[in-house]
Amino acid sequence: MARVTPSEIKADPTAIGEVSEPPFAVLPKPDAIFAARAKRLRTYAQVSPMKPYLEFVAAVTDAQLTIIPGLPIVAMRDADDAAQAATFGLPQIDRARITVDDALTTTLDRLFDNLSSIDMPVPAAEALERVAHCDITQRERMVRDVLDNALSLDELAEHSYIAAGLQVHLVRLASQLDATTLVPVGDGVCPSCGGAPVASVIVEWVNAHGSRFCVCSLCATLWYYVRVRCCSCGTTKGIGYQEIEGGNGTIKAETCDECRTYVKVMYQNKDLTIDPVADDIGTLALDMLMSKGPYRRAAFNPFLLSY
């Protein structure tokens, strides 16, 4: 594995003289998010030894996209409450208030019904059967488990299906927020829904040349985060970069010697087709190499719950 130091990160000389004023947050577009993700997963599947799993997740992503039309309207926070949340530096979507209401129930039911027609291994099919037919108390518990990142090793497959439904629900919620009302709420915390990042991306946008954004693992909101800074604890000390020897440099593990964690950083400015959730799965080999070292994975990905 190759190690890169922060001093080796080079600026883009073509951006000299341009003032970069990146927005703090960029909200997701539900249809575009899931369509691009499914396409990227299938691109990885063409060349990966993980082809069956990548194709399975792509099919799940197709199902997420398919069920969006016709879903019930999601309940948004009232304006006064949202303004108060911003004043106190809190996410606009209060995870504590997310319940298995009509919108979320319909989302989960339609997703599970759609997934029932997908080819999958017997254990995955059995887990889908269990989660699709569990009672409301069990469903509420699993939703809360995912939102609190308190997952049971005995129910990882069930929680993955619940998380897939929550992705649809939270992406729809986040897409209706006003990005200008979002405020920083803490290191490694999504300003929209309070979730953890799946990765960070380096972009090359107008007014955001070489800027970095963390990407929420559930609601897909992007929020600005300075480079060479730990996405978990916020320190700028002891930051390093590791990648697979001979790689193309588009995806690295950003390590922190202070909290001993890592989160992948993805150079979307070098490859516009990068999707953080898909590329996180597609580069599992990097996680396997990192597992042999002193750093633990701090990112959250609903489809890599065992890592």
Q: Is the pLDDT of residue 143 over 50?
A: yes
- What's the pLDDT tens digit per position in 24-35? 999 999 999 999
Interval 38-73: pLDDT, tens: 999 999 999 999 999 999 999 999 999 999 999 999
In a domain, 169, yes or no: yes
Inside any domain, residue 305:
no
Range of the domain at 77: 30-180
In the DSSP assignment, the letter for residue 74 is: P
User: Residue 1 — pLDDT band, cuts 50, 70, 90?
Assistant: low
Higher pLDDT, 8 or 89: 89
Task: Tell how far CA 45 is from the center of its chain.
Answer: 19
Whether residue 119 sits in one domain with residue 187: no
Grade residue 96 by pLDDT with cuts at 50, 70 and 90. very high
Instruction: Indicate the pLDDT class of residue 246, thresholds 50, 70 and 90.
Output: confident
In a domain, 176, yes or no: yes
Count up the domains in the chain and report the number: 2
Whether 175 is in a domain gets the answer yes
Domain boundary among 180, 201, 235: 180
Q: How far apart are CA 72 and CA 107, in angstroms?
A: 8
Q: What is the Cβ-side half-sphere exposure of residue 154, based on CA atoms within 13 angstroms?
A: 1
Mean pLDDT of 70-83: 90
* 176 and 198 in a common domain: no
Q: Are residues 58 and 167 in the same domain?
A: yes
Q: How confident is the model at residue 120 (pLDDT cuts 50, 70, 90)?
A: very high
73 in the same domain as 84:
yes
Q: Which residues of 77-89 are buried (b: 16+ CB within 10 A; e: fewer)?
A: beeeebeebbeee
**How many CB atoms neighbour CB 195 within 10 A?**
28
Last-in-domain residue among 125, 153, 180: 180
The pLDDT value recorded for residue 55 is 98
* Residue 76 confidence (pLDDT) above 80: yes
Which pLDDT score, from 0 to 100, does residue 153 have?
86
pLDDT class of 247 with cuts at 50, 70, 90: confident
- Identify whether residues 153 and 81 lie together within a single domain: yes
Residue 107 and residue 204 share a domain = no
Would you say residue 6 has pLDDT above 80? no
In the structure, what pLDDT confidence band is assigned to residue 80 with cuts at 50, 70 and 90? Answer: confident
CA separation for the pair 151, 149 (Å, rounded):
6
CA 273 from centroid of its chain's CA atoms: 16
